Structure 1
Amino acid sequence: MSAPPSVPGSADQKVSRNVRLLSWFNFFGDFRMYGPIMVIYFAQVTGSYAAAAGLLAVKQLSSAACEVPTGVVSDRLGRRGTMIAGAVVMVAAHAGYAAAPGYGLLLVAVVLEGAATALWSGNNESLLYDTLLEAGREEEFPRHAGRVNSMFQIALALAAAIGGAVAGAWSLRAVVVLSIGPQILCVLVAVLVREPRVTGPLESTVLTHLGSALRGIRDHPVLRRMTLVSALRYSGESAAQLSPVFVAGLWPLWALGLWRTFGHGVAFAGFRISGWVIGRLGPARTLLSGELVDNVANVVALVKPTVVSPVLLGSPAYGVSTIAQQTVLQREFTDRERATMGSLASLLGSVLYGVVALGAGLVADRWGIVAALLTIQAVVLIALPLAWWVHAHASSPHDGAGTVAR
């Protein structure tokens, strides 16, 4: 069936509506007051920190296992429906957390959360890009993506502060119960989103669709390298699990909350200015510059630890680099396989994340926390020459993109 003719101005109205709704969706989706105490809550319910850590690992595995199937679902059945499905599954996961009397229901809940995360991964960025593409405004992606993603950081900072107060006044379970509300609001917001119109025929079968996406990444030099950059950057986020141990050796325990808040504030600022920066430098150069800044800052912080090291540690350019990475990827993805290609990149990132986290943990046990963080940094450094190649390729007379046929 052919799509109905567009109404003048309707595409622009859809852009405004979807950008606004995606911003609130991201805010409510990450407004999880139990975030800082999740491991403690799991240990309280199961009676074991080992079981709690195992549940977190299962959640990561569930998300990784669902990445590619959910990307195919998004491409074949639509962005809005996938977004709603993810929100409904996330509500079920949170209800399971709140009601869990023991390990069994928590296990079901973490599997559900992993599936919900996978439903959103690739899909929500694709929804934003497709909405802009329909209106002929895809060049505005960095600006809108920066603003939409900045809402994550506001939610994380506020939720952590409120959750700590609620846990102190009532209980850990009360924090988890109250966190269901924002997830229900996510469902309501997702229902209001309008489906972007994507042109072009679908592949005849799911396997053909998946094969086409794999070949598109394999045969496209820029896309192949950017997929690796994305995965390597994500694996570096495993440092977040070990960094508090390093910071606690330099700052008092009461200051760890301030350190987290500072990190979210820096990331928020980065997301907000990312559109302006990318507009002047271009996405490839912005990504390369951001990776250089982050790598230098982390090496300086770790090689000679001082009281200033926690301020440098992490990803000072995280927000800007992330939007630059998303921009390059979205421009190179094909319209009909956009979410599937994004999910394949996320799957590779999840696998690398697990390998790097495990390796860093073994290094920490044998040689200490600084050695573990430097090991993670060494892996992330591999992204630098890849980002340099993409930057040089994009700066060539032919623009280097060689976008996959649509």
Structure 2
Amino acid sequence: MSLPGDDGHILLTTRNINAYYFFHLFGNMAFWLPIYALFFLARRLDFETILLLYAVDTIFQTVLEVPSGVLADRIGRRPILMLGALAQAAGYLLIAFGNGIPLYIVGMALHGTALAFVSGADSAFIYDTLASAGRENEFKKIEGRAYMYNLLGWGAAGLLGGFIAEQSMAAPFILSAITSLLALFVIATGIEPPRQTARTSMRRLAAEALGVLRGNGRVRAIIVFSSILFGLLLVGHKFSQPYLQMAGIDLKLFGVIYFIWLMFAAVSSNHSDRIEQGLGRTLYFFLLPILAGLPFLYWGWRQTVFGAALAVMHQIVWGTLRPQMAGLINTEVAASVRATVLSVAGLGSSLVYVLAAALIGGMADRQGLPTAVLYLGAAMIVIGLVAAVPLIRRNHRPTVNKARLHHPL
């Protein structure tokens, strides 16, 4: 939809920014966060089956990550975000009211589909909105604030989820379905931002996105770097609840701890641009793997309450890296394939997660959780620092001519 004139651009920008913030808030109200394993255990599923269900979620997200980005470039960002919110609500309801593994599998598949649909399309939606008003330089600030709303949704809902589950284990999933429908409503009030519309086939769009990755070293470097850190952090997150139990922390406090963690991530996200500028890009990117890995090294050494406190370092990485990654990609990539390239970044994180989960999970079964997280922390620091080197080098080189990115082939 095109809105000519200054008034039209102001209306589009204001409405879309507000819709974007509340979409992230409502769409990420995970009331089920502190109790998801307990919910499935109460339904008489064993741990192996529970891990299989989450593998279904990850597989669907991985397989649909890039196709959903291509679709967003072709038919628009807003419709894809609406479909993602609808799929998420349906998935939660199937899990809440399901009475067998087949329905749980479908519910997790829908949740993975929702994550794939939102990944990339959300950042492209707001960047195109700002670009239409000549406000691209505000993207990192807006994206950081939106991610703060994202984490506030996770934290506030997670804090309440434990108390709600005392009345009904299904209630947290039902409430998350309701807030997902609220997310659908608020993004529906937005306006599809003008952009260079993709008129070529989906296959051609995917080929153009791959051409960008081949020809733009800065984009390739940030995708590799963020995929490694995000993927390994996701693996480590699966060990957080067992670690808290080993540290002797009461189960009732899990929601409070998750809330504190997510609030650290929210504050970091809101100030991500200021943090990156204050440290300088070189120091910033070298510090992230160290901050991500050090808590896991401690978890492998000691299982104490202090280990839970150290995990706020993870939240600084979560909160600051996504806006920086999305900002670099959005400024380097043409609008016609922007959502597709952002989806490739999400695909990379999912692939790292699947590979590392199999390796580290097997190690935890054979040698115990402390040994597994010790190796995870060491790998995160070493591999992350190696991946940061080309990213730092690329950041000191001239920016690629964006005119080439419209037709990389």
TM-score (norm 2): 0.90
Instruction: Give the 3 Å change call, closer, same or farther, for CA 68–284 of structure 1 in structure 2.
Output: farther
Give the equivalent residue in structure 2 for 1:221: 217
Cα distance in 2, alignment partners of residues 9 and 283 from structure 1:
37
Cα distance in 1, alignment partners of residues 3 and 186 from structure 2:
26
Contact 2:159–2:258, Cα closer than 8 Å, also in 1? no
State the shift of 1:305 in Å: 6.0
State the shift of 1:297 in Å: 5.2
Instruction: For residues 298-319 of structure 1, give each alpha carbon's deviation from its aligned partner in whole angstroms, at most 9, with x where no partner exists.
Output: 5456456665232123514221
Q: 2:258 is matched with which residue: 257, 260, 282? A: 260
Does 375-384 or 269-278 show the bigger shift? 375-384
Contact 1:46–1:102, Cα closer than 8 Å, also in 2? no
Give the equivalent residue in structure 2 for 1:336: 336
State the shift of 1:285 in Å: 5.3
Cα distance in 2, alignment partners of residues 153 and 253 from structure 1:
23
State the shift of 1:177 in Å: 2.3
Instruction: For residues 151-188 of structure 1, give each alpha carbon's deviation from its aligned partner in whole angstroms, at most 9, with x where no partner exists.
Output: 122112221222211211x2112332233211111111
Instruction: For residues 207-236 of structure 1, give each alpha carbon's deviation from its aligned partner in whole angstroms, at most 9, with x where no partner exists.
Output: 111111112112221122211112101211
What is the 5 A alignment of 1:262-341?
262-280=260-278, 286-296=284-294, 298-299=296-297, 302-303=300-301, 307-313=305-311, 314-318=313-317, 319-341=319-341
Does 202-211 or 17-26 show the bigger shift? 202-211
State the shift of 1:283 in Å: 5.6
Cα distance in 2, alignment partners of residues 13 and 244 from structure 1:
45
Cα distance in 2, alignment partners of residues 287 and 11 from structure 1:
35
Contact 2:292–2:380, Cα closer than 8 Å, also in 1? no
* 2:175 aligned with 1:178: yes
Instruction: For residues 48-94 of structure 1, give each alpha carbon's deviation from its aligned partner in whole angstroms, at most 9, with x where no partner exists.
Output: 44333221111111111111111110000001111111112222212
Instruction: Give the 3 Å change call, closer, same or farther, for CA 46–69 of structure 1 in structure 2.
Output: farther
Give the equivalent residue in structure 2 for 1:147: 145
Instruction: Give the 3 Å change call, closer, same or farther, for CA 285–322 of structure 1 in structure 2.
Output: farther
Instruction: For residues 323-367 of structure 1, give each alpha carbon's deviation from its aligned partner in whole angstroms, at most 9, with x where no partner exists.
Output: 222222222222211111111221122111011011111111222
Contact 1:150–1:268, Cα closer than 8 Å, also in 2? yes
Give the equivalent residue in structure 1 for 2:353: 353
Cα distance in 2, alignment partners of residues 101 and 386 from structure 1:
45
Contact 2:32–2:161, Cα closer than 8 Å, also in 1? yes
Instruction: Give the 3 Å change call, closer, same or farther, for CA 288–133 of structure 1 in structure 2.
Output: farther
Instruction: For residues 71-118 of structure 1, give each alpha carbon's deviation from its aligned partner in whole angstroms, at most 9, with x where no partner exists.
Output: 110000001111111112222212212221222222211111111111
* 2:67 aligned with 1:84: no
Q: 2:34 is matched with which residue: 33, 36, 46? A: 36
Instruction: Give the 3 Å change call, closer, same or farther, for CA 306–110 of structure 1 in structure 2.
Output: closer
Cα distance in 1, alignment partners of residues 115 and 124 from structure 2:
15
Q: 2:22 is matched with which residue: 3, 21, 24? A: 24
- Look up the equivalent residue of 1:198 and give its one-letter code: R
Contact 2:243–2:303, Cα closer than 8 Å, also in 1? no
Q: Give the % identical residues.
A: 23
Cα distance in 2, alignment partners of residues 368 and 68 from structure 1:
36
Residue 271 of structure 2 aligns to a residue whose secondary structure is helix
Cα distance in 1, alignment partners of residues 249 and 84 from structure 2:
39
- Look up the equivalent residue of 1:70 and give its one-letter code: S
TM-score (norm 1): 0.90
- Look up the equivalent residue of 2:202 and give its one-letter code: V
Give the equivalent residue in structure 1 for 2:239: 242
Contact 2:297–2:378, Cα closer than 8 Å, also in 1? no
Unaligned residue ranges in structure 2 (runs of 5+)? none
Cα distance in 1, alignment partners of residues 148 and 258 from structure 2:
15
- Look up the equivalent residue of 1:140 and give its one-letter code: E
Cα distance in 2, alignment partners of residues 154 and 111 from structure 1:
25
Cα distance in 2, alignment partners of residues 300 and 276 from structure 1:
29
Instruction: Give the 3 Å change call, closer, same or farther, for CA 379–207 of structure 1 in structure 2.
Output: farther
State the shift of 1:195 in Å: 0.9
- Look up the equivalent residue of 1:109 and give its one-letter code: G
Unaligned residue ranges in structure 1 (runs of 5+)? none
- Look up the equivalent residue of 1:157 and give its one-letter code: G
